[in-house]
Structure 1
Amino acid sequence: MESYSHLPQLSNGQLDLSKVQDAQLMKTKPNRGKGYTAGNSCITEVVIDNKPTKRLLDPVAFCSCVGKPFLKTCVPNCKDQLLPIDGINFNSACNPMKALGIFETNFIFPHINGNLRITVEFVSMENCSGTHFILENDYLIMYGIYLHNKKDRYFSIGDISPVNLGLEKFKSERLKEAEISLNLTDKQENKLSSLLYDHKGAFVSDKEPLEALMSHEVDIILNTERPYPPLLKIPAYPASSKSREALETHIKELLDLGLIINVGHNEEVEITTPVTVAWNNGKSRMVGDFRALNTYTVPDR
């Protein structure tokens, strides 16, 4: 009854077929006449007794089973390890199967993100000629294993993979506009994201604009006493006549924007920049008065 409860199409004999839509492909479909090749995605590699072997995922199999000839190639002394089985008849799609016993073993699913080991009982069949272990779907359900065939087959346990919430938030917020090379594998991309997350303090954000800066002390001595240092004795350099027109246009634009203002030589104004433009006899001069900064410099400590 439990299995039938998940089949709504059997609950009502009067099925409405007026609305039908075509199923959407999730992967490339084999060419016409080659549909049988799609079954290869159900075969994966596992490790038994440190030996790689093939395993078939069969969601319609009555039980997990393996042929005697194939089992003997994987485990030569398998006959001594069989558990007894009596009173059960097994049949394949076309022939009855002769059960020899139950073979219990540990399977290891190799994967880049961590290997997975489960204990499985296989019925050893004398007249089964398959070249792989057949694992029924119930084992996948019992262990909560979800298999997804994409670029690299992977396994997640309990349908919920451990997630680093901080890393996922970092990837969605800080790395959402980052361009990562398409040549990286999933493992390399995950390793790169983890490395960036571990050093997230080196990145600037809107809420933490100075996150990458560490406090440090700097001693600055501004000399305003005579004799002045040689660099302060250098006269202000005049702008060339060639660039004067462009300079005047630029200054006019800054005046129109209100970023700078015209002041007289005897007016007192708050200093906003150590570089000013001075006019003398119709000529412009760029003047850097770094000594004036001393008035507005407050030591941190």
Structure 2
Amino acid sequence: MESYSHLPQLSNGQLDSSKVQDAQLMKTKPNRGKGYTAGNSCITEVVIHNRPTKPLLDPGAFCSCVGELASDKEPLGVIIGHEVDIILNIERPYPPLLRRPAYPVSPKSREALETNIKELLDLGVIRKVGHNEEVERTTPVIVELHNGKSRMVGEFRALNTYTVPDRYPIPKIQIALTQISQEVLISTMDALKGFHQNVVTPRARKYLRIFVHCGVYEYLRMPFVIKNAPSHFQRMMNEIFPEEL
């Protein structure tokens, strides 16, 4: 989990540490590697008016609140009571089996697919299923991120067409910015692989299978780009952080 805090600069150029209600909300970043949200965390920097300054916590400080979400043995947290289900529109007959052949990929995309597959397998986000199973499956694509990394996402547009929408309200960014415009301390947190913190119900897994050159896999945790994923994640955040949000 990453959290970013911005503090005001006083006239004498010093930080007013009394403004910090909980130092554990200062910017923390796990040193356990990709996918981990627990373990020793270190404060990296605080930015004041776009100018970095020394952190208020010593490097290696442990963020206790993170430990409740994950551990070294379980790098991704599990939010109990927020299992993801997929409900199909009964008024629209859904194809009994939706099978798409694997897209042809370049050597670079092939390598990225294999890297993403291995990472998700290690994290328990997906699992491999037998080739002989009568499964619905789609093909994933590789999306290049702004930081130079890549992310594998399933091509679930056909499934989304038949999924009953969850109309849970999503906050508008402009309203949120207006609400915090007069605050003294502003902190933001980013849950690592946030959507994957939610497990998928067993009956929904059959709709979330992907087909690649190295086999067929199904999602055990909520993937990106499926319909209702933002609504489900927002509901979870509101219930976990009712006062903060």
- TM-score, normalised to structure 2's length? 0.22
Q: Which has the larger radius of gyration?
A: 1
